[in-house]
Structure 1
């Protein structure tokens, strides 16, 4: 570990997926890595046996117990639809008001939160499939300057110079931020809400709304990723090869965790308090202990690219978009269990997104004709395509969709 200079403190997913083409993060040590040899350690990746014939999980790997979950999908048509994770059918539709493009969705506290581009927020009870409350927060322009995050029992909407809190009853309160502070991401630790903007962090007391500013973090770039767990706070600079380990209460740098061979960090994930990270050269790293990190590396690809990933059903699921495959890694053993082929809607642009709940995994693949939704069956390691009626309506296809995974509606709600 590399020690970082101290930082002086002064007197803070949901899952939303807009289906757009994700670009490569760029180089892996060598500039412009784009071929197998550029990023590969030995020029090839070993594939587990049977990768072209997905079946039951390997011997000794218990099949996950099916638990009801639904994928909630919204486009610009004014409807939030529930797709059942067992039948692959739409089982409920909730009207949330039409807008230009899909709303931003968040999930937390047993609710689905839909934020429209006109500022309306609908709080949807997914079990009863109904809107329970509504509120209005005037959005910042452009819309990309509105960052949603659910944590500490509330929905938070971060905008330049202001943070909004929305309670589960739809009550709105505002917290002023520094006028020159433009939040780009949020994270929660055990006691605090953290906002990142540039190289600065703002800490927010979720109970009182009191804020404090942290001096600029080390490095020459702004914070590109922020991850909070109950006992840790981690950050990564834009296109940087190391993870900064920060004090969860003060954000003072404690150490850094470099990925192998200066590989850029493309994503961080909280897996029950344990941290996993993906690198743009095709390595997945499990950090056993943040305080005294023990790194377990898994090689999944030899081509530089983004690696969207998600955690569900006891596995870490990574999208190898160049090969049009989903790689399944066991969380306990870090063994690659399977590589599942994904038939791309556009072979010339095979990028797809991964979104998951606790027990279900979904893939979103978009092109000019609309958005295809696929479900991964963790019991059989098969990728199932949902009916074409599920996804963006033709009129809204160019805008894509937003999705979250939440509880399915009950039978009574569907009647």
Structure 2
């Protein structure tokens, strides 16, 4: 029996959209001079922070570079722009993702630590100031701060999901839920030692408890811890993302990253050799990781390797 053309196309689309299998990923490594660190996916490319610049890379090599004083922290890709924290000056830089041109610099009092997230959600950009204990809400239509939310001291790690902003404080050892409708904290959840980078996805909010070496799963509806998995001795200065039915965790010891089943909390795979500190971002085609201590970016996929 001959298959209808529409069915054949649908099957092809489904196969093309299949998420990466954590157990079948191979590494393609690129040498990146400087200090390639935090990552933001831009289609089939990725932006990375570096010394005095942000750079755009693909599997074919470097695509663009934009100078700025001290890019730091995890970046956001939204509203056709790359949003980057500048820890020397405390601004958020808005960069046109297509032209690599700086569109605006928005003072928000970022830093001084580079361990932070700038994130997008609810039609806004959100940026933390750990020294003042506030989070700035930026309107991308005007590039102005339209609200300032008081949070626990030391709050610098953010993610957005499940209709809320989630903000972790290493100093207060807590996770805060911020309602964007009222620009205020509605729930505070106690966490383990040194909570750090976090992500909202795959049915929960996931927070690194860096000092304990554990990953905490937060039920967003109950605003409560619903599980933990021990990953290593510590998880200091790694990174995290979620997608394709998996939670992806960049580590600094034992391996490059681990993949975790969000339901069973089982570690599915420990991939790569230890490469020091760095970042990680998921795409439907594969995983990007950085390793600034050895000056590399890596693309992990099941596809045949390309030459740059």
User: Is the TM value for this pair above 0.5?
Assistant: yes
Cα distance per residue 1:165-222 (max 9 Å; x no partner): 11221132222314x52213111222111111131122111233132241422x3x22
| Cα distance in 1, alignment partners of residues 93 and 278 from structure 2 | 32
Q: SS at the partner of 1:195?
A: strand
Alignment of 1:87-236 (within 5 A): 88=61, 100-102=69-71, 106-116=76-86, 117-127=88-98, 130=101, 134=104, 136-140=106-110, 142=112, 144=114, 147-159=117-129, 160-169=132-141, 170-178=143-151, 181-197=153-169, 198-217=172-191, 219=192, 221-229=193-201, 231-236=203-208
Q: CA–CA distance in 1 between the matches of 2:289 and 2:100?
A: 31
Aligned mates of 1:313, 1:113 — CA distance in 2: 22
Task: After TM superposition, give the deviation of residue 300 of structure 1 in Å.
Answer: 3.4
- Aligned alpha-carbon RMSD (Å): 4.1
Q: Distance in 1 between matches of 2:105 and 2:289?
A: 36
**CA spacing shift, 1:240–1:283, aligned 2, 3 Å:** farther
| 1:204-258, Cα deviation, whole Å (9 max, x unpaired) | 11233132241422x3x22133221162011222232322111113431112123
- Structure 1 residues without counterparts, runs of 5 or longer: 1-17, 23-66, 322-348, 356-360, 362-375, 385-415
In the aligned structure 2, how far is the partner of 1:68 from the partner of 1:145? 26
The structure 2 residue matched to 1:354, chosen from 297, 300, 303, is 297
> TM-score, normalising length from structure 2?
0.65
Unaligned runs of 5+ in 2: 1-33
> Which one has a larger percent strand, Structure 1 or Structure 2?
2
| SS class of match (2:118) | strand
Q: What is the aligned length? A: 261
Bigger RCO of structures 1 and 2 (CA < 8 A, at least 6 apart): 1
1:14-53 Cα shifts (integer Å, max 9, x gaps): xxxx81799xxxxxxxxxxxxxxxxxxxxxxxxxxxxxxx
Change over 3 Å in CA distance of 1:72–1:126 after alignment to 2: farther
Are residues 251 and 380 of structure 1, via their aligned partners in 2, closer, same or farther at CA, if it must alter by over 3 Å? same
Cα separation, 1, equivalents of 2:147 and 2:288: 37
Paired residues of 1:269 and 1:276 also in contact (CA < 8 A):
yes
2:128–2:136 CA contact under 8 A, matched in 1: yes
Contact 1:234 1:245 in 2 (8 A): yes
| Greater C-alpha radius of gyration | 1
Aligned equivalent of 1:409: none
For the residues of structure 2 that align with 1:87 and 1:120, how far apart are their CA atoms?
Answer: 31
Instruction: Answer whether contact 1:156 1:163 (CA < 8 A) is retained.
Output: yes
Cα deviation for residue 153 of structure 1 reads: 3.2
